């Protein structure tokens, strides 16, 4: 499980160039998180699945915030984004995991719901 959460921290740095050419982070990021969560399913322990999913979302959001620190913007926007991004990624990770735990065939619904939450979050943040 350690390699999964390590990749969750590295993933935003890998995805950054991809998102320049395919500017739909709500799709790209949720697909990558779904892939990471899929690897968590090897565990028989539900607690490990949930804590792993929370760790994936937290570390993904933390790394994304480090990337955004390099971007322009006021310190207030950066702090607000920092406070909101990690809960967003934790929430979307849990949406994907919950859909899988209910029924593995619902993974696509979970990815779509997580992508929609992420999309509307991005719209909200862009209006600040």
Per-residue pLDDT tens digits of the chain, which is 128 residues long: 788 888 999 998 889 888 889 888 889 999 999 999 999 988 889 999 999 999 999 999 999 888 877 766 677 777 887 888 889 999 999 999 999 999 989 999 999 999 999 999 989 877 77
Domains of the chain, residue spans: 2-15+25-126
- Long-range Cβ pairs for the range 36-44 (8 Å, 24+): 36/4, 36/7, 36/8, 36/11, 37/93, 37/96, 37/97, 37/100, 38/100, 38/107, 39/4, 40/1, 40/4, 40/97, 41/100, 41/104, 43/1
Quickly tell me which residue has 């971007």 as its tokens. Answer: 71
Task: Kindly write down the DSSP assignment for every residue of 64-80, as one continuous string.
Answer: HHHHHHTS---HHHHHH
């Amino acid at each position: 499980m350690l390699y999964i959460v390590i990749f969750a921290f590295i993933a935003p740095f890998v995805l950054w160039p991809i998102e320049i050419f395919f500017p739909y982070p709500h799709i790209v990021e949720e697909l990558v998180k779904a892939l990471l969560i899929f690897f968590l399913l090897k565990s028989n322990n539900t607690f490990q699945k949930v804590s792993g999913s929370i760790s994936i979302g937290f570390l993904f959001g933390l790394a994304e915030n480090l990337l955004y620190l390099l971007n322009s913007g006021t310190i207030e926007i950066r702090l607000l984004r920092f406070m909101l991004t990690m809960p967003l990624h934790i929430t979307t990770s849990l949406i994907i995991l919950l859909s899988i735990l209910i029924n593995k065939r619902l993974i696509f619904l979970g990815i779509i719901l997580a992508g929609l939450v992420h999309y509307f979050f991005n719209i909200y943040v862009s209006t600040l």
